[in-house]
Amino acid sequence: MKDTRENLIEVQGLKQYFTKTSGLLGRNVQYIKAVDNVSFYIKKGETLGLVGESGCGKSTTGRSLIKLYEPTAGKILFNGEDITNYNSKQMLPFRKRMQMVFQDPYASLDSRMTINEIIGEAIVTHGIATGKEKDERIFELLDKVGLMRDHASRYPHEFSGGQRQRVGIARALAVNPEFIICDEPISALDVSIQAQVINMLEDLQNDMGLTYLFIAHDLSMVKHISNRIGVMYLGNLVEIGGSDEVNNHPAHPYTEALLSAVPLPDPRLARERKRIVLQGDVPSPLNPPSGCPFRTRCSKCMKVCSEVKPELKEITPGHQVACHLY
């Protein structure tokens, strides 16, 4: 069935290049193509999962969306409004609407502040509430993320990793955002805690109508929470489609390899499945291969793959892949 919801996020041809200088007086300038011509949309109330090995550009994409970096090229639209070239003053109202949950729940909370101060800071900065009203709001947020009211007076070091991530989520929710970028929010947590945090994020999405970009390095983490999944490799989006479609009918050889590494609960199926082990490392984004960025590790590589860079092409409705096999 066609999803008729409006787009909250639209990214068109996003490029995020960083410069690296070397040589006498820094005259040699090279470009690190962290994100290279990436386009996608996220509909209101949906979750787009973004996966790929570390260094593939997924976190940089998330950070560019929220304007932590100034994009090198391309467009970012939020609810139809082009925010690509907005300065920090123009971005202020959007900071409230777009929030981020970080990977490391240890580093992302200031150890000198109480939980009340950490969550309250955003509430006061954005003029949402002060005094008793602010404290009430903090208690409500702690309830929402499954923490207790008396946790408000404690410091981050008094919590477990899972509890700290709950504080990070409460802080993101404090300003009533519409869109949250979850940047590997469960990667640093024990496996037993990961499912709890995913379930909580899903409940919050249903209650509050939130839209998520959920970034993770492995497909098993994103497939449960995502409506659609995008796969990135070396700064490029190589496949994107509905979560079931990408999981059941992966088209790009890189997606096939990632899926072959996902643990299967059924031991018989796990024994029968053939694991695709990728050879070599991800090439440097300073000097990416010609043609297809995946060609140096692809077992299906053809002559054309080193000559022409494949563009994303729709192979079934809503399922796009960038590969010369299609």
DSSP labels for 100-117?
EE-S-TTTSS-TTS-HHH
Of 63 and 324, which CB lies nearer to ligand SF4 in the complex structure? 324
Does residue 310 belong to the site contacting ligand SF4 (CB under 6 A)? yes
Interface characters, 238-277, with ligand SF4 (x: CB under 6 A): --------------xx------------------------
Residue 24 in tokens: 């006498």
Footprint of ligand SF4 on residues 139-168 (CB under 6 A)? none
Footprint of ligand SF4 on residues 279-308 (CB under 6 A)? 292, 294-295, 298, 300-302, 305
The SS3 of residue 306 is helix
8 A C-beta contact, residue 12 and residue 78:
no
Min dist. Cβ of residue 309 to ligand SF4 (A): 9
With contacts defined by CB under 6 A, how many residues of the chain interact with ligand SF4? Answer: 14
Min dist. Cβ of residue 249 to ligand SF4 (A): 16
Cα 139 from Cα 150, distance rounded (Å): 9
Cα 139 from Cα 169, distance rounded (Å): 14
User: Residue 220 to residues 223, 229, 318: CA-CA distances in angstroms?
Assistant: 6, 11, 21
Q: Show the beta-strand stretches assigned E in the chain.
A: 7-22, 28-43, 47-51, 73-78, 81-82, 98-101, 179-183, 211-216, 228-233, 236-242, 313-316, 319-321
Of 94 and 294, which CB lies nearer to ligand SF4 in the complex structure? 294
Min dist. Cβ of residue 72 to ligand SF4 (A): 24
Min dist. Cβ of residue 304 to ligand SF4 (A): 7
Min dist. Cβ of residue 302 to ligand SF4 (A): 6
The binding site for ligand SF4 (CB under 6 A) comprises 252-253, 292, 294-295, 298, 300-302, 305, 310, 323-325
